[in-house]
Structure 1
Amino acid sequence: MNTFEKLSEEKQTTILDGATECFADKGYYGASIKEICSKANISNGALYKYFTNKEELFLAVLHKCQEILVENLYEKYTHIKHSLVHTVENYLEEIVKIHQKYPNYIKVYANLGSNNVEHFLKNLHSPFTKSANYIHNMVSEAKANGEILLDISENELSLLLDNYFILFLSSLVSDYHDLRFRFFLRMTPEENLTNKRKIEFILDSITPFLAKTE
Structure 2
Amino acid sequence: MTDRPYTDEDLRAEAGRALSALVHLPTVEEIVASLRQSYIPHLHADGDLVTWGSVLDEDELAEAARQIAERMIPAAPVGEWAVNLGADGLEPTAHVINLDSPDGPFVRLHLAIHPDMPEADRLRLHKGMRHAIITAVGEPDEDEEVDELGDSDGDVLDLIAEIASRLRDATDEGEYHAVGLVYDLASGRTTCAEARRDLADITLRHV
TM norm. shorter chain > 0.5:
no
Please identify the structure whose Cα radius of gyration is greater. Answer: 2
| Higher helix content, 1 or 2 | 1
Q: 1 or 2 for the larger relative contact order (CA 8 Å, sep ≥6)?
A: 1
